Structure 1
Amino acid sequence: MAFGTIATWRMAAEGLDQAYKMLESNQSAADSVEKLINEVEAYPYYKSVGYGGLPNEEGVVQMDAAFMNGDTLAQGSVAAIENVLHAVSVARSLSNEHFNSFRVGRGATKYAMKHGFKMTNMLTDRAKARWERRLAEIREKDLNPYDGHDTIGAITLDKSGSMAAATSTSGLFMKKDGRIGDSPLSGSGFYVDSEVGGAAATGLGEDIMKGCLSYEIVKLMERGKTPQQACDEAVYPFIEKLKKRYGKAGEISLVAMNNKGEWGVATNVEFTFCVANQNKEPRILMANLGKNSTTKIEPVTQEWLDAYEKRIHAPIN
């Protein structure tokens, strides 16, 4: 019986392990994807999601998140929400609302407070130190302030055939107050249909949303493409179009899984992701742009993993 999950970046590994065990024991796609994202949101050393996430230019951590039920197509999203430990759980709760299911700013935060979600100061000492260092670098070296925008995005498929998708991010480092990227936007940052499959994005939201790439990948799968074919055919031509017509393209990476547990990836950067299905247990893989607009995928090395752990725990000087 098919089941599986795929998620963006190495930071998803521990959460994906939990989700895989839940799916293996017949738990739902919705519960599993929420658990996967929650694990990332709560870990203070992942600087682009949740607790300890990257603050905006005013030093405030504002988070975007989304949840989608692939059976009903119900969706919930929050954007620029503050002081909430698990933004994705708020988004899932909102997916049960027919009206007002996408809340932003104060409205999103008030909803979370009213409905008993855990509130906390999301700006850790480590995140504050990183923000202060960036302010100094901007003043002294005239650097571009924007650095870092990795989203955790995930798709799950349970043994009953139900699918779900979710995303969470603190967005672009040093972003303007209230800036929103692609992550909470249906069709851009995420999309899932249990009769077909799902996709989720990470990278520069302002460019990803120009192509509605998650929806495009799902539509290609619906027309009979494998997840890998759909990712390649949606992402790489769009990047070239963007370069030609807009003049440039930022970082763009997507993951996808269909309702058979098959998966695919496309990226224009060095991109790690985590995946598991009924055939293989959880693993971390590396994707890069290959030849002729295809994707090269290989296992990460232990050397890379060791360097990653050292990097994310390194002191902020």
Structure 2
Amino acid sequence: MQNNFEIVNMLTLRAKKIWLNRLAEMREKNLNPYDGHDTVGAITLDKQGSMAAATSTSGLFMKKAGRIGDSPLSGSGFYVDSEIGGAAATGLGEDIMKGCLSYEIVRLMGEGKSPQQACDQAVYPFIEKLKKRYGKAGEFSLVAMNHNGEWGVATNVEFTFSVGNETKAPRILMANPGPDHTTSIAPITQEWLDAYEKRIKAPIN
């Protein structure tokens, strides 16, 4: 407003229908707000070696008023140190915050771990700790990159992410939990991409 930007209602008819349908689902199927969430996280490295990490989230869908998730909290939703690397998280913020996972991944990279080793070492033992303490762990995924441009990812769900640089075109990859605290990573298939596009463009009744 101070810079004369036009004030626009960002709520689309499609989004409103999705919200109304979820309200009905919550009443009829006794769903709770934790049955759906999403965050976009990004880590960048420029030609001068400066790094940045960022998150963008609509927050937990149907969340209670006043809830604050991990996304705006440095060390939880994101963390970066240009001399080491950065990390960003998506998923259930209440659980991610219990481990300060983005900071932990950067700390491990600072000890000499590769981004993939740091992600695996930070995320999977923490998932087991949550399950032991609370009987369950929320869904979450983390991406990381070090100051050399090497990257890593860890997740406890099926998780898609994208990587690219000045020499390699951006590509979409799929990560899944692997055996023995590791992460399985493979390119997405055209079949998966077609199904995804069909799903997000499907009419909302």
Q: In the TM superposition, what is the alpha-carbon distance from 1:145 to its structure 2 partner?
A: 4.1
Retained in 2: the 8 A contact 1:231–1:265?
A: yes
Q: What are the Cα deviations for residues 254-303 of structure 1, in whole angstroms up to 9, with x where unaligned?
A: 00001101000000000000001355321000000001010000000000
Unaligned runs of 5+ in 2: none
User: Displacement, 1:237?
Assistant: 0.6
- The letter for the 2-side match of 1:121 is N
CA contact (8 A) 1:261 1:278 kept: no
Tell me the CA shift for residue 143 of structure 1: 2.7
Residue pair 2:57, 2:71 contacting (<8 A) in 1 also: yes
- CA–CA distance in 2 between the matches of 1:188 and 1:163? 17
- SS at the partner of 1:238? helix
Aligned to 1:99: none
Matched to 1:220, the amino acid is L
Count of residue correspondences: 205
1:142 is displaced (CA, Å) by: 2.4
The aligned counterpart of 2:47 is: 159
Q: Which residue in 1 is equivalent to 2:109? A: 221
Deviations 1:81-112 (A, max 9, x none): xxxxxxxxxxxxxxxxxxxxxxxxxxxxxxxx
Q: Encode CA deviations 1:196-215: one digit per residue, 9 max, x unaligned.
A: 10000000011111100000
CA RMSD in angstroms comes to 1.4
CA-CA distance at 1:225 after TM superposition: 0.5
How far apart, in 2, do the equivalents of 1:216 and 1:205 lie?
15
Q: Which residue of 1 aligns with 2:93?
A: 205
Report sequence identity in percent.
81
Equivalence map 1:32-71=2 (5 Å): none
Q: Go from structure 1 to structure 2 and tell me whether the alpha carbon gap of 1:206 and 1:289 turns closer, same or farther (over 3 Å shift).
A: same
Deviations, residues 176-215 of structure 1 (Å, cap 9, x unaligned) = 1121110010000001111010000000011111100000
User: Following superposition of structure 1 onto structure 2, how do residues 26-37 of structure 1 map, counting pairs within 5 Å?
Assistant: none
Task: Say whether the 8 Å CA contact 1:256–1:263 is kept in structure 2.
Answer: yes
Q: 1:146: how far off?
A: 3.5
TM-score by length of 2: 0.95
CA distance in 2, matches of 1:119, 1:192: 33
For 1:277, what is the secondary structure of its paired residue?
coil
The residue type equivalent to 2:116 in the other structure is Q
Q: Distance in 2 between matches of 1:254 and 1:294?
A: 13
Length-normalised TM-score, structure 1: 0.62
- 1:282 corresponds, among 167, 170, 173, to 170
| CA apart distance, 1:316 | 1.0
Change (3 A) 1:129 1:258: same
2:123 matched residue in structure 1? 235
